[in-house]
């Protein structure tokens, strides 16, 4: 029997051991272990998905509903209720000028009178001639009734009376033209002549203003025109700081060709005439009241489309966005329409959440409300 070499014996032993290992199934368990590990990882991921995620916390407030008038703010100025420049109606020398600048006058008061230059004498002469013609006509009536003169002579006498009466009226009109009288009550704002000055017809005499009532005048845009009505209430703030109430007297129905805006006149009582014409004013036109909420500016945010609005949370904690209609913008608050009555407005964290997201909503504490509130109106609205 030939002798077997050592390396062949070693190879045979390795082969036998490998066959035994395969037979035990340990080789196939490598793949099974890998599959079990993958299944365990999937199960862990599913459990993690099932666990609730940590919700973002936002602070909310439920502002009450407030009736507030929509306010249209425009810049303007004061103007006299009536203004006129009185002018000479005839040629002559100024004889009387009884009033000075700043004097109050009543309707019909004499403002200026020219030297009559014989016009008063002409009136007296025409009056005497009329009296003579009337006496002659009366005599002709009696004679005609008795048949002593022809009816033609009577008609001539009556015609002479009419002619004399016309001459008297003409002489009176000429005399009246030398006087300038106030067409309405007011204040003399300027005097443009002096006693002894020679005037021609049409020369300026004085400027007369009626300051009670006084007007606050401004321009509104085409967009706001439909919200304004005659007799609506208006608030006027003068450059002096005084605030006055008035009513809209007139809204122009024709736009300015240059600005495409419409003139609005607000009438204000001014019994002491302390408010002058030409003073700068801010006019707040108060339209019909609407239901609003008062919120600070910091609550306002933008959505993805760039719309202004607020974010609110529904009873399920889902975030919603509501576009707003700014009814009034005051130093203390924005008065907004378009927000549902039951909305819980997000007052802290509104820029950190998106529409459709579920959040943890908590009512804002008093300190947060004080920080947000810019004035008493907002504090009232936010604290409920």
Q: What is the pLDDT along the chain (384 residues), one digit of tens a residue?
A: 444 556 666 667 667 666 665 555 544 444 555 566 676 667 666 655 554 567 888 888 888 788 887 788 899 999 999 999 999 999 999 999 999 999 999 999 999 999 988 888 888 888 898 888 888 888 777 777 777 666 677 788 788 889 888 988 988 888 889 899 999 999 999 999 999 999 999 999 999 999 999 999 999 988 888 888 888 889 999 999 999 999 999 999 999 888 899 999 999 999 999 999 999 999 998 887 788 888 888 888 988 888 889 999 988 889 999 998 888 887 778 888 888 888 888 888 888 888 888 888 888 876 666 655 544 555 554 444
Residue 354 in domain:
yes
Measure the CA–CA gap between 229 and 257, rounded to whole angstroms. Answer: 22
Q: How far is CA 205 from the centre of its chain?
A: 39
User: Are both 333 and 232 inside the same structural domain?
Assistant: no
Measure the CA–CA gap between 73 and 224, rounded to whole angstroms. Answer: 10
User: Are both 362 and 377 inside the same structural domain?
Assistant: yes
Catalogue the E-assigned strands of 300-352.
Answer: 301-302, 308-313, 319-323, 325-329, 334-337, 344-348
Measure the CA–CA gap between 220 and 238, rounded to whole angstroms. Answer: 18
User: Are both 110 and 187 inside the same structural domain?
Assistant: yes
- Whether 120 contacts 175, CB under 8 Å: yes
Domain end marker among 256, 289, 322: 289
User: Are both 270 and 308 inside the same structural domain?
Assistant: no
Residue 112, pLDDT score: 94
Q: With H, G, I as helix, E, B as strand and everything else as coil, classify residue 271.
A: coil
Tally of domains within the chain? 4
Measure the CA–CA gap between 108 and 208, rounded to whole angstroms. Answer: 13
Q: Which residues are bridge partners to 285 per DSSP?
A: 72, 234
Catalogue the E-assigned strands of the chain.
Answer: 57-61, 66-87, 92-96, 104-105, 110-114, 179-181, 186-191, 198-199, 204-220, 233-238, 243-251, 262-268, 280-295, 301-302, 308-313, 319-323, 325-329, 334-337, 344-348, 360-363
């Amino acid at each position: 029997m030939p002798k077997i070499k050592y390396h062949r014996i070693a190879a045979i032993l390795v082969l036998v051991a490998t066959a035994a290992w395969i037979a035990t199934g340990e080789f196939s368990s490598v793949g099974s272990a890998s599959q079990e590990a993958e299944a365990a990882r999937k199960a862990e991921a599913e459990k993690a998905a099932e666990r609730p995620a940590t919700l973002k916390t936002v602070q909310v407030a439920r502002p009450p509903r407030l009736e507030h008038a929509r306010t249209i703010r425009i810049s303007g100025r004061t103007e006299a209720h009536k203004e006129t420049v009185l002018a000479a109606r005839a040629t002559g020398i100024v004889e009387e000028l009884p009033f000075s600048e700043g004097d109050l006058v009543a309707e019909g008061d004499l403002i200026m009178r020219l030297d009559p230059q014989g016009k008063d004498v002409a009136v007296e002469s025409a009056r005497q001639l009329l009296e003579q013609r009337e006496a002659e006509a009366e005599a002709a009536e009696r004679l005609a009734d008795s048949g002593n003169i022809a009816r033609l002579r009577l008609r001539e006498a009556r015609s002479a009376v009419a002619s004399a009466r016309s001459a008297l009226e003409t002489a009176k009109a000429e005399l009246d033209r030398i006087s300038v009288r106030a067409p309405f009550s007011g204040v003399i704002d300027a005097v443009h002549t002096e006693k002894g000055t020679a005037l021609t017809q049409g020369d300026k005499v004085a400027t007369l203003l009626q300051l009670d009532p006084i007007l606050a005048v401004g321009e509104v845009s085409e967009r706001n025109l439909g919200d304004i009505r005659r007799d609506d209430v208006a608030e006027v703030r003068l450059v002096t700081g005084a605030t006055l109430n008035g009513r809209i007297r007139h809204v122009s129905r024709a736009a300015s060709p240059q600005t495409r805006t419409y003139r609005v006149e607000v009438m204000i009582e001014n019994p002491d005439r302390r408010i002058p014409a030409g003073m700068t004013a801010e006019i707040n036109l108060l339209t019909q009241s609407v239901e609003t909420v008062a919120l600070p500016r910091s609550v306002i945010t933008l959505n993805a489309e760039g719309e202004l609005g607020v974010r609110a949370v529904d009873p399920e904690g889902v975030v919603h966005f509501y576009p707003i209609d700014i009814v009034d913008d005051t130093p203390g608050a924005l008065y907004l329409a378009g927000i549902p009555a039951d909305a819980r407005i997000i007052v802290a964290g509104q820029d950190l959440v998106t529409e459709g997201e579920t959040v943890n909503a908590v009512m804002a504490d008093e300190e947060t409300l004080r920080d947000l509130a810019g004035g008493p109106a907002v504090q009232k609205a936010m604290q409920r």
